[in-house]
Amino acid sequence: MSATGGRSGILLVDKPQGITSHDAVAKTRRLAGTRKVGHAGTLDPMATGLLVLGINSSTRLLTYLVGLDKEYFATIRLGAATSTDDAEGEIVSTAPAGAVAALGPSAITAALEPLTGEISQVPSSVSAIKVDGKRAYTLARAGETVELAARTVTVLALEVLGSRVDGDYLDIDVRVECSSGTYIRAIARDLGAALGVGGHLTALRRTKIGLFSVEDAANLETMDVATALLGPADVASRLFATYQLSESQAVDLGHGKRLVDDSWSGGTGPVAAIAPDGRLVGLIRFDGHTAKPLVNFPTDEVTA
């Protein structure tokens, strides 16, 4: 029996600074005693905060978590641009003397305005986006010029929490709520460019993914996976409407059969289909009063 007791579920982890998300997954695999660990979005080594991991068959839920909105707290340093748009890169330009000192709150507020709402954003050249089958960051760090296409993202909130002078630089602390696929490093880069002084990210912490908060996350170094694991039925019920199955319906759905319910009025889906014993049987989608399975979960794992 694995360290999870054979259970499937979702694990919230608070990633520390200085390790990759792959490192965090590898450590979780050892602690959980299973190779079946996946993630719903990575964090750079410099960043800290919330990783959402799937254990065993609950990796099938990750598809529905990847696209959730996210919240970050970040520090943007104005006065220099770097090769990676963050503190891990080399400085490629610095602001003219006195330019940063001349910046006032109104200028910063005005420069942030075009970076909010639905915007067209060019991802950082060291992002994980694939170019001709290779990760952009692999090409960039090999010295190749990487040009990525702009993509539409939504910045729901971009709030300045405070600022302080650090030598020739101005550090701005911000809170960002954004759609999946938004690059906070790109916001730092674009803010610096708009102000004519250059900008890059010096700190980043992800605090929320959808309804999940880092406040509920386990410490990677000290966590007990079995205790920290969120059951798949619990997670699915937070994300979707639920449908309570009868015993016969649970069996039918487990065999891939469609369900018919003339009284259903809860929308198309996805809908979490829950067995009488509380187990998540699968996710279903209704077309009128007929539901077909989107994904099923095995019955041989322990109900969490």
Q: Is 277 a catalytic residue?
A: no
216 touches 50 (CB < 8 A): no
Q: Which of 14, 44, 86, 190 is catalytic?
A: 44
Q: Indicate which residues carry an active-site annotation.
A: 44
